[in-house]
Structure 1
Amino acid sequence: METLYDVQQLLKRFGIFIYVGNRLWDIELMMIEVKQLYEAGVIEQREYLNAIMVLRAEHQLEQTIQEERANE
């Protein structure tokens, strides 16, 4: 799992589709859903950690982009 799209496909396998309209909020909601899947024992630890790592990186990137837009 290397991209946000991969995480979306993981969630899609369980019928979870996320679109709030704000990319940052979408990523945060994906983090919550992935954590719940792991805690429910539906996904393995390795898959969980990979997904969270991707989501954290995307969250940081998106946060930086939004801050730059706000400063323009």
Structure 2
Amino acid sequence: MKTMYDVQQLFKRFGIFIYVGNRLWDIELMMIELKQLEEAGLIDKQEYIKAMLVLKREHHLEEDYQEGQ
């Protein structure tokens, strides 16, 4: 799992589609949903860690982008 698209495909396996309208908020909601999937035992720890790292990187990049506007 290397991209935001990969994380979206993970959510798609569970019928989860996230779109709030603000990319930063979308990423934050994905982090919450991902944690719930892991806590429920629907994904393993390794998959959770990889997806969370992608989301954290994207969150950081989006924050930097929004500050630059």
TM-score by length of 1: 0.95
2:32 is aligned with what amino acid? Answer: I
Q: Find the counterpart in structure 1 of residue 8 from structure 2.
A: 8
Question: Matches of 1:37 and 1:10 in 2, distance apart?
Answer: 10
What percent of counterpart residues are identical? 70
Alpha-carbon distance, 1:24 to partner: 0.2
Deviations 1:13-49 (A, max 9, x none): 0000000000000000000000000000000000000
TM-score by length of 2: 0.99
Structure 1 unaligned residues grouped into runs of 5+:
none
Distance 2:17 2:26 in 1: 10
Corresponding letter in the other structure for 2:18? I
What count of residue pairs does the alignment treat as equivalent? 69
Question: In the TM superposition, what is the alpha-carbon distance from 1:5 to its structure 2 partner?
Answer: 0.4
CA RMSD of aligned residues (A): 0.3
Q: Deviations over 1:42-67 (max 9, x none)?
A: 00000000000000000000000000
Q: Which has the larger radius of gyration?
A: 1
1:50 paired to 2:50? yes
The equivalent of 1:29 in structure 2 is 29
CA distance in 2, matches of 1:12, 1:20: 16
